[in-house]
Structure 1
Amino acid sequence: MTSPIEKFNIHVPEDVLDDLKTRLALTRFPNELQLSPGEEWSYGTPEQVTRNLVEYWRTSFDWRHIEDEINAHLPQYTAVVNTGSEEHGSLRLHFVHKRSTRPNAVPLIFSHGWPGSFLEVSKIIDGLTEPTDPKHPAFHVVAPSLPGYCFSEPSRKPGLSLKATAYMFNELMKLLGYTAYMAQGGDWGAMVIRALAIWHPENCKAIHSNMFITTMPTPIRHPFKLVKLIGAVLGSFVGLEIGYSKDELEGLKFAKYFMEEESGYMHVQSTKPQTLAYGLTDSPVGLLTWLHEKLRRWTDDYPWTDDEILTWVMLYWINGPVGSLRYYKEAKTPYLKTDERTYVVSQYTNVPLGVSVFPNEVFRFPHDWGHMVQPLKFWKKHEKGGHFAAWERPKILIDDIRQFTEIVVQDDLSLRSNTIST
């Protein structure tokens, strides 16, 4: 079942904003440890940082102004879209859709992750849809909110997985008239676009990721890369660069560190999201600190403003964060004798892959591992940037998407769209 596309503007009811101010005024703050300089964030979001943000949120933050800016800049819509599952039926998706004036523009679906949102597309959408250089490719951009995030409806039953999300996004693109398109994403978005490439290669013709992730090579699966990795590790002990570069090994070490020391949020959200949801749904400050720590830790010294931080948090507060928390557990749905996350990052597909590598990304895998899962057509490392590439380094990301597109369009002319918006 699908429904007509409906125009959507954000407008938070006044009583929701009044309730928020009341809750902020009643905040109880925990005791703070006396930590050494440079260690202030080692236990989580610091008290004084939070107190300052809460005071600004309560007394000065102008949501109505932010709301108007988002509505003016991003053309938003909703449509009821089939999940491809009898159990989940159809759900209402919220999405941004902006067409280029170029008749031969390439359709591109942008998929966000956690704790991001559709808002991340706002810094790249104009440069993609209307490039100033006529030699650069242009794009028709679609940026959905993941199911259960922001203004997209959550399922009331468990098991709405990456496969179902990819099905919905593919249906949405077809509903908009795009039968051949590219996809871009990071975080969960990186996995969603992989799911599109795996299950919908007839429509999704190429994907570009700013968080490439896959499984380790094994003796059965890519044994030569495993030998290369072992040689690189052994070589590092005697100061020799064998197989993989020092930078590539550092990326793997950081991924190991991240999973051991920085992934507590992931384990909670993947196991008992409903328990966590009570605190984050009831306390705006609880939600603020849960998200703020990640915004700071995962970026590359990005100078967040108070308005930016609070806007990102508001998009989770308005309808509650529970759907986004549950998404971690749903993506563990068993599939083909493994959990779906593992399947999605390790299954091979012939859909071309492009990767942008940023130094403060939480996962940075070796270049040639890309070939293990897809035909790798583009790989570019950058000197600055982190997890939220579209927000931190929008011009760089736009340029990488353009370069990758120029490569894949030569091989697949179906990406040149002449569709008319429905």
Structure 2
Amino acid sequence: MFTEVLLALVIGGLIYFLVQRSKNQVLTTEDGWWGSGAPRDAGEDDTIRSFRVTTSDQELEDLYRRIDLTRPFPSLEDSQFNYGFNSQYLQKVVSYWRNEFDWRKQVDKLNQYPHFKTKIEGIDIHYLHVKPKKVPEGTSAVPLIMVHGWPGSFYEFYGLIPLLTDLSNPHNLVFEVVCPSIPGYGFSEAPHKKGFDSVCAARIFHKLMKRLGFQQYYTHAGDWGWLVTTNMAQLEPKTVKGLHLNFAPPSKPGLSMALSMMLGRHFPKLFGFTDFDIQRLFPCMEKLVVESIKETGYMHIQATKPDTVGRGLNDSPVGLAAYILEKFSTWTSHDFRNLDDGGLTRKFSLDDLLTNVMIYWTSGCIISSMRFYKENLGQGLDAPHAKIPVYVPTGFACFPNELMHTPRLWVKQKYRKLVTFTPMDRGGHFAAMEEPQLMAEDIQKFTKIVEGKVKE
């Protein structure tokens, strides 16, 4: 009996030691310089400059000329979106883009929020900074940085921003929102040197928030923004008050994940799996492999030779639109592959979709945006941040049509202080753009709990 107790104490002490050691793990990083040439001796210009999205007759004439020179190519009969973007429907989208889409009107819409640029580590960082019009007396706005992914942009959050900054419900918190463009995306300058990964973006965004006067703040993200904001929490866990995500694939498979995959179908309660978890995690192996092949070919290209395919997309607006919009179809729902129109306008308007494409086209950022895959995925599972748990309070919105389903157990492997895990009624990968109301409600719920306004 004494031996068993002693053994239990030793094992318990070892587990406690490992947990405490992991709690003390903080991601470390060093300042970089991503501008052209060597760092400036005079130091960095920390001026914040106003910025407006603009267009010109020459820009539109060049776009229309390139669209008019496009050579159509027919899709196979009854292929829908299973071979990629359906050519017949693409012609309809291109016709709308060429003849009806009003880019000047959309530019005005983009400029409805204040845009700024500031130079950090040698490159210009673009961001929106939206302050609430009214803050209840005796309170202050909650600072929140929201980070997009690929092939999205800051525009993904345009439906969500007013739901967070306008106090229509007096019981809600009001937010002060910052939406930056990841360097190499949209109107943020692209890095001029190799090696700019998610940790570098996280470090730059911390510098941005501090330059704006924030000492602590919340974060929200999906897609690549998930990794950037996770790195922000790992770099400065006392600075990030709360981390809200709608995408959190396992960064490093662990023992509990392996056991849950082997036994979870037969013993779901042992791993806290719901019926929906079982449905998403345990189709036949063939289906899992086929689905992976169907939706990840782009990733291999962008993680290896992004500049080659990027040159074609940078020259052809129609090619760029097909490449980007195909993701807004199949990543919103796999079932949309079987529709002639890819289901594109079931959740989005063509004006919104083409506005996102135009941000890529007018800024010429498609190549630099795709390089982010090579810089990040080239490290594989050996990236330092993959081994470090997150102890910042975390909220996870689990949307049913997300590319990869992550049950609560797997989220907690990485995010040890999981405050909320919300199974959402509907929505896919571009959740903030698809379902801004649902997203706003979940951000409110999570933040209120962390702020002590409501109980868990």
1:79–1:94 contact (8 Å) kept in structure 2: yes
Partner of 2:372: 327
Alignment of 1:30-179 (within 5 A): 30-35=73-78, 39-72=79-112, 74-82=113-121, 90-100=122-132, 101-102=134-135, 103-179=139-215
Structure index of larger Rg: 2
Is contact 1:92-1:153 (8 Å) kept?
yes
Asked whether the 8 Å contact 1:358–1:386 carries over to 2, the reply is yes
Partner of residue 309 from structure 2, selected from 267, 276, 289? 276
Amino acid paired to 2:94: V
Q: Secondary structure at the match of 1:78?
A: strand
Aligned amino acid, residue 65 of structure 1: K
Amino acid at match of 2:69: L
User: Which of the residues 418, 430, 455 maps onto 1:388?
Assistant: 430
Could you say which residue in structure 2 is the equivalent of 1:314? 358
Q: 1:209 to 1:257 in 2, by over 3 A?
A: farther
- Counterparts of 1:127 and 1:309, CA distance in 2: 20
Q: 1:349 to 1:256 in 2, by over 3 A?
A: farther
Q: Residues 333, 217 of structure 1: CA spacing in aligned structure 2 closer, same or farther, 3 A cutoff?
A: closer
Question: Residue 305 of structure 1: CA displacement?
Answer: 2.3
Matched position secondary structure for 2:451: helix
Shift of the 272–313 alpha-carbon distance from structure 1 to 2, 3 Å rule, reads same
More displaced 10-residue stretch of structure 1: 46-55 or 325-334: 325-334
- TM-score (norm. length: structure 1): 0.87
C-alpha root-mean-square deviation of aligned residues, in Å?
2.0
Q: Which residue of the partner structure matches residue 21 of structure 1?
A: 64
Secondary structure of the residue that 2:171 maps to in structure 1?
coil
Percent identity for Structure 1 against Structure 2 = 35
Distance 1:218 1:207 in 2: 22
Instruction: Return the offset for 1:242.
Output: 6.0
Deviates more, 1:155-164 or 1:303-312: 303-312
**Distance in structure 2 (CA, Å) of the matches to 1:253 and 1:91:** 45
Contact 1:353 1:377 (C-alpha < 8 Å) held by counterparts: yes
Partner of 2:414: 373
Amino acid at match of 1:245: T
Structure 1 gaps of 5+ residues are 83-89, 412-422
Whether the 8 Å contact between 1:106 and 1:139 is mirrored in structure 2 is yes
1:5 equivalent to 2:44? Answer no
- Asked if the contact 2:252/2:386 (under 8 Å) is kept, the reply is no
Q: Match of 1:349, as an amino acid?
A: V
One-letter code of the match for 1:377? V
Match of 1:249 among 261, 278, 283: 278
Q: Distance in 2 between matches of 1:349 and 1:306?
A: 38
The answer to whether the 8 Å contact 2:427/2:435 transfers is yes
In structure 1, how many angstroms separate the alpha carbons of the residues matched to 2:369 and 2:352?
Answer: 19
Q: SS state of the match for residue 158, structure 2? A: helix
- Give the structure 1 partner of residue 263 of structure 2: 231
